Structure 1
């Protein structure tokens, strides 16, 4: 069985991110990739895992939904925009086998607080929180 490999540009399109952002994730070790000549190839399975896609099983059968509110203090406007864009692109990935993940962000510029509301299956919300943790940890 052959593995489907994606270019950086294809991965960026799938994640709704800029290609340079995907390259940064690869160089930081957050996204596994194989170097082929002067470019990289990302296995589809690794990209799906990075994006938080379900791995074949779905929580839709249980009907369980989770609502999570996360507050991040001390955030600049630019950082809030980057985090919101990152999370929105992650929330838009998925297929017909996964339940929809709803995401809302709100930034209070006076208090410098970003609030994130995520509603979805427990595993999808958990994966999104892990991605958020890694994203914020990489910035500090």
Structure 2
């Protein structure tokens, strides 16, 4: 039953995190949820996709993944926050069939350096790198 809706507490239990962490994921746009009244409901398929759970299919044995580290120097704090938000939105752009894309960002406000660590299928990583170039105005 893929269209089953879960509460924040049920999603937190499934992810083995605190409910406030699930709420943070929702606020950051990393986990899609629907607001019903004062509470959120999370679609089972969206939670599975967020958690990287295959939807009834086994993972291909030769699932190639790329790990990419991008360093962007001399950013303001606001620009680094915009980039992290942009990446979060781009990461949510797939569907339940797409292998999950994982990324982390680290920003050093003293030097203005932003580091992005991305783990994805090579084609997805390449597309995201192109989007980063476009966002920074570095496109050809």
- TM interval, shorter chain, is 0.5 to 0.7
Aligned ranges 1:61-100 → 2 under 5 Å = 62-100=62-100
Query: Deviation digits for residues 7-62 of structure 1, max 9, x if unmatched?
Result: xxxxxxxxx6xxxxxxxxxxxxxxxxxxxxxxxxxxxxxxxxxxxxxxxxxxx574
Query: Deviation digits for residues 63-101 of structure 1, max 9, x if unmatched?
Result: 100000000000000000011100111011211221000
Residue 108 (structure 1) aligns with: 108
Q: Distance in 1 between matches of 2:61 and 2:97?
A: 11
Residue 51 (structure 1) aligns with: none
Greater Cα offset, 86-95 or 69-78: 86-95
Q: Distance in 1 between matches of 2:62 and 2:89?
A: 26
Aligned ranges 1:43-54 → 2 under 5 Å = none
Q: Distance in 1 between matches of 2:133 and 2:61?
A: 28
Q: More helix by proportion, 1 or 2?
A: 1
| Runs of 4+ that moved beyond 6 A | none
Residue 119 (structure 2) aligns with: 119
Q: How many residues align?
A: 81
TM, length-normalised to structure 2: 0.54
TM, length-normalised to structure 1: 0.54
Q: Distance in 1 between matches of 2:83 and 2:111?
A: 17
Q: Indicate the RMSD between aligned Cα atoms, in angstroms.
A: 1.9
Gaps of 5+ in 2: 1-28, 30-59
Residue 129 (structure 1) aligns with: 129
Q: Distance in 2 between matches of 1:83 and 1:97?
A: 26
Larger radius of gyration: 2
